[in-house]
Every structure is written in structure tokens, then in C-alpha cells.
Amino acid sequence: MNQDSRDTEKKSTVARQEEEILEFWNKNGIFKKSEEKEAPKGEYVFYDGPPFASGLPHYGHLLAGTIKDAIPRYRSMQGWRVRRRWGWDCHGLPVENMVEKELGLETKKDILGFGIEPFNETARRSIMRDADVWKKVVPRMGRFVDMEQDYKTMDTTYTESVWWAFKELHTKGLVYEGFKVMHLCPRCGTTLSNFEVNLGYKDTDDISVYVKFPLNDEPDTFLLAWTTTPWTLPGNMALAINRDVTYVKARVDETTVILAQERLSALEKEYTILETFKGERLIGKSYTPPFDYYTKKDIKGKVSHIDQKTQESFDRAWKVYHADYVSVEDGTGVVHIAPAFGEEDLSLAQKEGIPIVHHVTVEGVFGPDVKDFAGMAVKPKDEPQKADIEIVKYLAHHNLLFKKQKITHSYPFCWRCDTPLLNYATSSWFVKVTSLKNKLVSENKKIGWVPKDVGENRFGNWLENARDWAISRSRYWGAPLPIWRNEKKKTYVALGSIEELKKYTKKSGNRYFLMRHGQAKSNGHFVESKDLIDNPLTKDGVAMIEERARTLSHEKIDLIFVSPLLRTQQTAGIMQRAFGLPDSSVIVDLRLRELDVGNMNGKTVEEWDHLFKTFADRFTYRGHGGEDYTQVRERVGDFLFDIERKYSGKNILMVSHGTPLWLMGHIMHKTSCRDILNISGAEKKRDEDCEGYPKTGELNEISFVPFPHNATFELDLHRPYIDGISLVDSDGEPLIRVPDVFDCWFESGSMPYAQYHYPFENKDVFEPRGGWFSRSKGYPAHFIAEGLDQTRGWFYSLLVLGVALFGKTPYQNVIVNGLVLSEDGKKMSKRLKNYPDPMYIIDTYGADALRFYLLSSPAVHGEDLQFFEKGVDEVLKKLIVRLSNVLSFYELYKDESTEHKTQSTKGGAESTHVLDRWILTRANELIKGVTEGMEKYELDRATRPINDFIDDLSTWYLRRSRERFKGEDEHDKQAALLTTRRVLIILSKVMAPFMPFYAEYLYRRLRSEGDQESVHLSTWPQIGLLDQKLLTDMQQTRTIVSLGLELRAKEGIKVRQPLQSLRLGAAGFRGIDKAHAELIKDEMNVKEVIVDDNLEEGGVRLDTTLTDELRNEGTVREFIRHIQQLRKNENLTPHDTVRLSVDADDELQRIIRASEGVITKTALLSEIVFDQIPEGVSSVIDGHEVKISIG
């Protein structure tokens, strides 16, 4: 995918042409100008779903990205302002899985051993490793999007908005902690949301078993239960039946079993019914479970639950209970209950007080109580049936296995690591989607879905059956859940901002005074950081500090921390004496020392400043052998947090130098390095010129509250930093954070507001809550687009959060694209190499051809596309190459008068020629067709008129107008040229959203002075007059020509051979006017078109009689064709008149001489000379050998 790795000479002409256009866009800021140009229609809101930053762009990305580009380009040309901001999805299991593989980690235990901080920092570094490739490929595909001012879901500002959203939902009562059975990925060690689970279902083989449960009060009698999850049997706590079902006691192979009467077929053996009764009789009966791990002791304390009712001992276990959901559609009518591993099982257990035992750990292995299988994985990825087989062996050995069967069923696998999921009861935090369901359904009906059935059926049905959304994940790399518990009080707080975090943060009560030393000899002259040069305070510097001491005399300073250098020691000494502090209260700390200037010590300030090309270099450059600003920031940050931990209730004076204090001040204000550069500006400047840089002797008190930070002491809300901050409640009691992180879908679903750090800033851009005197801004989106898989992903999370927070749908129109598959219909695979590299396609056929191929395919309305390279090639040849030929022909015959006759948008308006009027009407029809398709967001429909128009322009209009371009009638020639120019400019605008490169190329070749500099800054063309009769008449004309050409082919007569007449059936073609008849005569090469009353309706008859005169005309036409080919081979232009030498037999000479005037005029010859030619181009024309040359 590395574009730079491709040799320029291997790229096609069209690819190099596109790269030149891209350079033009970049150099002239065309995209930015398109965002800033006048927008009379206002703001058109588009949300760009963030892709995962890790991984390279593939055809799926290119398809979705091209859809996302076409609609905004169209809307921009229509007069809307369309902001297009790129984003990156940075968190979640996909990234964690990738990092685990790179680090060789397999379990959560491995991650904890490695360390959460290094693990997450590795994840952070991995996020943008492929960003440079994206930043080349995306623009190279022609997409206009701001990738510099991008947003990242891992940014602190983004996370704060996610916190705000969570707090809002919590305030509305839409968030709760629940104990539910959810799908657990044992490898990832976390539960998944229901829509994540639906991403990973596939058919798989499993073992089902029929198990005998001995009744305690009926010896040798067994309840027969069926289960497809044998691994859950050690956790059996009850059996369920339906009281209204009829059960039987049956004798089978010397065994007595009880099952539903309607399920006797499950026995598959001969049986004798001993007794029939209703299920009511079984309720309350006790039985012996197949495994005795929990029967020998009270299981109190071994349960995992919230409901206090379940805090009972095992006297509620191993009994028969009624459950309405027990059916006789399959199984035996007796259901095995393992409460921790089934939703209905848990519900019954909570209702009846049945103990809930987790005999399987969250790592997916049998726990230590299951002594026969302890440590064994219950559903290993490589051998998913292994544990079940061992359970079956155990049952068989203990004579508890009635039978086993192989089943094939749909089973969920982790959507990221492909591990079989487990149903697992655990605590999680939920969004109460069920309470929003009716509103979600009604809002969905307001959305324009393409295709419609995705919204109504796939998505609509999903909403109808919506369940509460589990949004917490027991993972590491993600936005932390902002919930802190008071374990003692059993209460919790939900925080919605960094300010709220600050409010609850435990504070030392310290006050901090930051003071830069007084003026020293070096200040303004040289740099000095090692006391190798005599550099004391000057007389003015001493006076300055004494004055500062007097201004601070009302304060009680407890401690002074000071840099070890002379000038700071002298400053601290003055302050020490002023406050009467003992020497023990003055502490030298190396972390407050001056910026180490390395081998520049003693050099002038100018020499020092000259090291840095930009101010940003000061944060990274260490070529002088000393420190950069980032290193200084780290040591002063370490100092600051260190003394905050060690001391409380103290007034602390810190005496240091300009740069360390300036950086410390930024830390205290939570300003990141990037924000410092944004504030200070990246241009070259001295640090003393930066805002807030302390002057010599300057003293400031700055409040400081600890905050979660990374190694460079930047505000960072990720784990483990967020958990390193101590929080207390209003009573001063400790608060401990719930260790989970957010489901990454909650984060991506927050992008409409989180990308703008709403509600903390940017309300001028995003404010969904309009008022009496203001409209909402930035919400909802007019348009979004993603793949079909996002119906239960991003589309869903956007809708849930948007409706929950703002009461209405977050998007009005959606285009859902299908998958791009390989030629054989299989999924594209890097391993199989069953698809061409996208950059190879772009370099060979151009991005426009690929774009149009994708946009005109069924993939733009949710269907899958089998990718054929020849399809892209066909677009190139049928559209771009044809259009290039039209442009070349126009440019071949245009002259200065053409350029100055008319403005680019008005040429051809006065032409009365039927071809000009027709192609202009077709151009209006083109505008109408494309506009209608785009308005309905049906991109394949919008592309069809472009294809058809180029075909009409090339194969009919230009073909029939060639002689007009060459002719002597200057008025008609200019009409044809100006009309061609006009429709080409219209076409350049209409095709701009789909093929932006060629549209730009075409427009720039045709634009006049005063036109916009780019087609993408121009206005969408208005639909003009549609002369339907003209269109109908021309279509009829072309139909006649087509029928006539079929007759010629049938008779084996070439079109170059003139014929006398073409007869048309009067009933069908009586309306043919003179202009269209002339077109038919020219195209059919006949002398006359006759409407014949004797021909049947729609009939066409060709007079194929060849007179000598007609034969000779045909010979002349063939001769002219050979001359034209020779002119082409010699690269002659229409302005080149040349002499033709002919060596031919007498008969051919006679024919040529008879038509010499026509030949010289048509072939642009000054004269024809008949002579013997030693060298020339030889050919045979109608049996005559001839040799010609141009001189």
C-alpha cells in the first residue's frame, strides 16, 4: 500500500495526470476553499465514522470513503457548507488483541504481569503507526477531508465528552448496574454487548447429551434432561419442568426415566409407559446432581450474585421447579438449570432463591472446586469440544449418560479474536435501552435508509427487540468508566467532567508559590546551566528579590525548594532570611535545576536560539548533548507530584529558572505539550516571548490539584493513571473507581459531540439544543454512511445515544454499503492474495475509474460486490478515454474565436442545429437524472446518466458533428464547437462528485477567465429546458439508423459504400422531419430517405442496388480513409495542408480525378500528383493496387 514505493514510470498516464491534479488541489488549498466559500443554503452536517487507526485501508474502506466523499462534494456545489473532519477509532478489543499478539501475551493475567501502563502505552504507540499510509491513500482516492485537524477517540477531550454523556444518561435514570447473564469472551476476559455478539455467529458442531438425574425418593428412577452445553453440568443447581405439560414414566433398557409425553421420540428406543401425569406432581422433588462438588458442604459464600434472596444454603438447590419457558418443541421437557450460565436459568434462580455458583472462572476454565477438571478450558478455541467430551466420559463412567448426539447449530464467537463465547452471569453497567425502545423505533422511521429494507427490516427489527446495552468492559485500553464507589457506605458517584474529578480529588491543602531567580549576569547574554561560569545575581537582581520578599511578607512560608545553581541559591537565601526560616526548611532539589544546555553552556543566547528551526524543536531536539523541554517537563512534574504527596497544609516556595517554572505552570494548569505549541505557535521564537513565561524575579501563586497523568505529566484519563489519583467523598472517605472501561462502541457513538469536546467548548459549531432565538447546530447529521455490519454497531450506538441525550435521531439519511468480495465471491484475504492491491489498481487505471466502478455498483445499496479488475478497466475505456477523445477533438479544431465568442456557461445557446439542440437537451436531462439520484442518496442511479451521456456525446453527437467541425460554414462550425464546450463544462460539474480528478482536468482545460479556479468551487448546474419531442425524435432517428445498419451488415455492404435510398414504413415514421432525415442519410450513407406507405409499421428497407456511380463514390470514400490514416500516422493537424503523391492504375486514377475536388477538400490536400512512387504506403482499394505518400 506504500504509494511512494511505486516507480513513477510504472504508473499510467491517467494516474500521473491525477497526481498532478492532487498537487494542484494541495498547492492552492482547494478543499479548504470549498469549506470556506459562500454557503447560501447553510450548514450541511456530515458525520464521518472513525476507522480503526491500526491496519491498512482496503476496498471496504475505499468504497465507504468514496460514498462519504461524493455526497459532500455534491452538497458543497449546491451551496452548502460541509465540514469534513477525519477521525480515528483508537480503543477497544481490536487494538488490544493486536498489541497482545505483538507482545506475546495471551491472557489478562499476562497483561497484568506485563503491566497495564506499558501495555496501554504500547497500544497508544501502535494506534497511529499506519496513519501516514492512510494520509496518502485517502487523498489519492480523491477524497476531500481534513486529516490534519483530526479527532481521536483516545484524546482526553474526547473522553471528557464521553464522561459527560454517561453522566447525563445516569442523571436521566438510563444507567444502572446489573447482574445478568451475558456473553463472555474468556480469552479477552470481558463481556460483550448483544450487538457485538451478533457480529460473530457461525455454524459449528457441538455435542448434546441426555443426562439422567436420580430422584431421591424414587430409587432407580431418573429425570431425563437434555443440554447442548455439557460443560455447565458441574454447576447444575436445579431442574425445571412445566406444570401444565403431561409427563410420563417410561421403562427403557432396564432404566426408568421421566420426560414429557410429547418428547418420547427422543428416546429412539423401545419403551414401556409405566405412568402418565401432569408436571405439577414433579415440583419440589429433590434429586442427586451428576456432580457432587457442592453437595457435601454449604455453598454459602461460594455464590456470585446481588440478590440477597440467593444468600441461602443448598437446601434450595437440586430440586424441581416450574418454569413457563420449558417447552416440548425439543429436548425432553426437563431443563437442566445452571444459574450462572443461562439468562432464563438466572431469572429462575433469582425468583426461587436457588444458589448461583460459578464453577467456571472468567478465564473460561473449570474452577478449583471442580476437582476432576480444574484448570481445563471449557470451550477452547482450538478444540471447542474437548471439555464436553471429558464430561461425557465422566457421565458414562457413572452410568448417568442416557445418550449423546452431534448437533450443528449457530454459535457466537468473539468478533475480534474468534474465541467461542460463554453465557456468563456477572455484574456490568447498562444503558436502559428498553425504556427508549418506542422512541428509537419512531425516530428510525424518520430516517431515509438506502437501501430502505435495511432500515425497515434489519435495523428496525433489531430495535423492536432491543435489549439493555452492557457498556462496561473488564479491559484496559479504553475510556475509563467514571464511577467511584464508597465500599463502606455501598454508594457511588458518577462524574461527568474533569472539573468534577478535581472536586472529588483528595487535596493536600498545600499552597505553591513559583519564583524565578533575580536578574543574573547571564540573563539576556548567554546560557548557563552548570555553574561553570561565575554567574551571580546582579545588584538589580538582589534588589528585585528583596522587593518580592516584602510583597510576600504577609504570607507564612513553611518550606523553600530551590535549584542548586548559584543564582537560585542566592535568591532563596534572600527569601529565607526575610521569613526567618531555619536551614532545614530550605531544600535543594536537582529537579528544579536549569534546562541543561549541554555543550552550549556559556554560548550566547543568539547561538542557542539558532539551534532550533521551530519552537516545536525545543521539545524534542537534544543534539547539543543536554535536555529537551519534554525531559525538563518530566522532572519538574515528578517534583511537583512528589511534594504534593509528601506534605500537607504547607505554604511552599519554589525557586527555579524560567523554563522549568514555565513548564511546571503548564503542568499545574493541565496543559499538554501539543496545547503549549498551539498556544505559543510553532514558528521560530524565543521561549521568553511565550505567553506566561516568567520574567526574572517574577513570583506567582498557582493552585494545584493532582490529576491523572502519563510519563510526560500530561492529563491522561487512561488506566492506570486514572486509578493513581485518590478521590474522597464529602465526608473525606475514600472512593475507589470501578475498574472497567467503556465499550468502544459507546465511544464511537459519541463522536457527534465528543469530536468537538461538547459541552465544554465549540458550542458555536455543535449545539443540539436550539432555543427560541437560536437553531440547533451540528445535530442531527444530514447524512452518514458505513457498511452493512454497522447496522448493529455504529448506526445503533449513534441512535441510542443521540435519542437518549437529545431526544431525536442523530442522522437523517444513511447509505449502507455492502461487502467488496474477490472475483470468485469469497472474502478478500491477504493470505490467499485473491484480490489486486488497491494502489496497483489506482496506479494502473486511476482513482476515478475505481471510484466510478464502486459508486455505480450494487454495493452502494447494501449488496455485495464481486470485484473484477476488468470492470475498472471498462470504466476507464468507456468513460475517461472516450471523454478524452471528445476533448482532444474539440481542442484540435478550436481557435481563438471560439475562446472569445462566449462565456463558458452560455455558448451554444443560439444554435438552431438539431444536434446542438439535442445534446443540450440531453445535458439538461443529465443534470436532472444525476440530481434526482443524489437527492435520493441513490448513487448507482445517479451515475447511470453520466455513462449514458458520455456514450451519446461520443458515439452520436461528435460522430455526426465531425464534418461540421471541419466544414467551411464558420457559423455552423462555431456553433458545434461552442456547444461541445458548453456540454463538456456541464459534464465536468456533474461528474465532479464521482470522478473529481478528471472533472477537474476537463474543467481546467475549458474554463474561461472569471470562472472559479476549480470545478469543486463551482456551482451545481441548473436544469434547463427539456424538449421531450426533440429527445423522442432523436431516439427514433437512432433506432432507424440501427435497423438500417443491421440491414447493411446482413447484406455485407460496408457503411462507406453509398446506397441510393432507405425506405421507412409510413405508419411508424411519418413524423421524421428534414433535419433528422439528413442525419439518417449521413449516418446510413444513402442518397435519400423515403417514407413508404406500402411498408409495414416500423419497417425499414434498404435499396442495395449498386450503380457504377455509387461504386465509384464508395471507392473515393475508401481512398479518403487511407489518406486520413496516413495523415494520422504523420501526426498532422487539421491546419496542415499537404501535397499527395499517388501511384495507381489508370482506372483508379480516373475515379480519383473525377472526385479530386471532394478529395482535396476533405483530406486537406493542396494538390494530388499522379506519379510512380519508389517509397510510400501501399494498399488495395476495391481491387486496385495503390501507393500513396505525403510530401
- Each domain of the chain, given as residue ranges in start order, spans 202-412, 508-703, 847-1024, 1033-1102, 1115-1190
Q: What's the Cα-to-Cα distance from 603 to each of 90, 533, 565, 595, 598, rounded to whole Å?
A: 45, 11, 17, 14, 10
Q: What is the DSSP letter of 956?
A: I
833 vs 975, more confident: 975
372 is catalytic: no
Question: 3-class DSSP state for residue 618?
Answer: helix
The residue annotated as part of the active site, out of 80, 462, 794, 956, is 794
Stated pTM of the model: 0.88
Centre a 10 Å sphere on the Cβ of residue 201 and count the other Cβ atoms it contains. 14
pLDDT of 433 above 90: yes
Residue 299 has pLDDT above 60, yes or no: no
Determine the residue type at 900: H
Question: In the numeric block, which cell numbers belong to residue 52?
Answer: 480503526
List the one residue out of 431, 432, 440, 435 whose CA is nearest residue 806: 440
Nearest to 246, CA basis, from 285, 281, 278, 280: 278
Encode pLDDT of 1084-1126 as tens digits. Answer: 889 998 888 888 877 889 889 999 999 998 999 989 999 989 9
Report the alpha-carbon distance of residue 1119 to residue 1183 in Å, rounded. 12
**To 10 degrees, the CA torsion angle through 529, 530, 531, 533?**
-80
Q: Which of 50, 230, 768, 1058 is catalytic?
A: 50
pLDDT at 622 over 70: yes
Question: CA–CA separation, 845 vs 840, rounded Å?
Answer: 8
Residue 434 CB partners (closer than 8 Å, separation 6+): 466, 467, 468
Q: Check 790, 918, 973, 1021 and give the catalytic one.
A: 790
Q: How far is CA 316 from CA 293, 305, 319, in A?
A: 16, 15, 7
The rounded mean pLDDT for the chain is 91
User: In the CATH scheme, what is the code of domain 202-412?
Assistant: 3.90.740.10
Q: Give CA separation, 269 vs 252, 255, 403, 506, 749, in Å.
A: 7, 12, 11, 72, 55
Residue list, annotated binding site for ATP: 830
**Residue reference for cell 458441574:** 234
Instruction: Give percent of the chain above pLDDT 70.
Output: 95
Q: Convert the pLDDT of each residue in 692-721 to its tens digit.
A: 899 999 999 999 999 999 999 999 999 999
Q: Please tell me the predicted confidence (pLDDT) of residue 130.
A: 87
Sheet with 784-787, edge to edge strand ranges: 448-450, 813-817, 784-787
Q: Cell numbers at residue 409, please?
A: 447449530
Helix, strand, coil percent values for the chain (each to nearest 5): 45, 20, 35
Residue 7: pLDDT band (50, 70, 90) is low
Annotation says 745 is catalytic: yes
Express each pLDDT in 1142-1178 by its tens digit.
999 989 999 999 999 899 988 889 999 998 888 889 9
Q: Residue 1068: its pLDDT value, please?
A: 65
Q: Which H or E element spans position 175? A: strand 175-185
Q: CATH: 3.40.120.10, 1.10.730.10, 3.10.100.10, 3.40.50.1820. Which one for 847-1024? A: 1.10.730.10
Confidence of residue 676 (pLDDT cuts 50, 70, 90): confident
Task: Please give the C-alpha separations between residue 1189 and each of 158, 889, 1119, 1174, in angstroms, as whole numbers.
Answer: 75, 25, 13, 10
Model confidence band, residue 5 (pLDDT cutoffs 50, 70, 90): very low
Cβ–Cβ < 8 Å for 596, 660? no
Annotated binding site: 830
The three three-digit cell numbers of residue 596, written as one number = 541543561
Q: What is the pLDDT of residue 307?
A: 41
Whether 830 is catalytic? yes
Q: Which pLDDT does position 682 carry in this prediction?
A: 55
**Per-residue pLDDT reduced to its tens digit, 375-387:** 999 999 888 899 9
Domains 202-412 and 847-1024 share a fold: no
Tell me which of 48, 68, 86, 89 is the catalytic residue.
89
Could you identify the residue written with the cell 446482413? 1050
**CA–CA gap between residue 984 and residue 692 (Å, rounded):** 58
Instruction: Tell me how far the alpha carbon of residue 1168 is from its chain's centroid.
Output: 67
Spatial CB neighbours of 648, under 8 Å, sequence gap ≥ 6: 508, 509, 510
Q: What is the pLDDT of residue 902?
A: 52
pLDDT in the model for residue 734: 96
* Residue 783 neighbours by CB under 8 Å, 6+ apart: 44, 45, 46, 71, 72, 75, 811, 812, 813, 814, 815, 937
Active site residue 530: no
Q: Which of 381-395, 508-522, 606-620 has the lowest mean pLDDT?
A: 606-620
- Rounded to whole angstroms, what are the CA distances from 1038 to 766, 1032, 1064, 1133? 55, 10, 13, 31
pLDDT of 811 higher than 70: yes
Residue 891, number of CB atoms within 10 A of its CB: 12
Q: What are 927-958's pLDDT values in tens digits? A: 999 999 999 999 999 999 999 999 999 999 99
Dihedral over Cα of 487, 488, 494, 497: its sign = negative
Residues in the chain, total: 1191
Whether pLDDT at 310 is above 50: no
- Residue 903: is its pLDDT beyond 60? no
Instruction: Give the pLDDT confidence score for residue 475 in this predicted structure.
Output: 93
Q: Among residues 469, 474, 483, which one has the least CA distance to residue 436?
A: 469
Distance (Å, whole) CA 817 – CA 70: 14
CA distances to 586, 672, 970, 1078 from 1074, rounded to whole Å, are 109, 79, 22, 6
Beta bridge partners of 412: 201
Q: Identify how many contiguous H helices and E strands the chain contains and give both numbers.
A: 40, 40
> Is 1050 assigned a catalytic role?
no
Q: Which of 27, 296, 406, 830 is catalytic?
A: 830
Average pLDDT over residues 769-795: 89
Q: What is the pLDDT of residue 297?
A: 58
pLDDT at position 904 is: 42
DSSP character for 412? E
**Homologous superfamily of 508-703:** Phosphoglycerate mutase-like (3.40.50.1240)
Span 807-813, average pLDDT:
97
SS3 state of residue 1066: helix
**Where are any strands of DSSP class E within 312-421?**
319-322, 335-337, 401-412
Residue with C-alpha cell 505559543? 680
| Strands 491-494 and 586-588, bridge-based pairing | unpaired
Positions of E strands within 508-604: 511-516, 559-562, 586-588
Tens of pLDDT, residue by residue over 74-106, are 999 999 999 999 999 999 888 998 999 999 998
9 band by pLDDT with thresholds 50, 70 and 90: low
Catalytic residue among 88, 163, 318, 745: 745
pLDDT band at 770; cut points 50, 70, 90: confident
What pLDDT digit, counting tens, does each position of 450-469 carry?
999 999 999 999 999 999 99
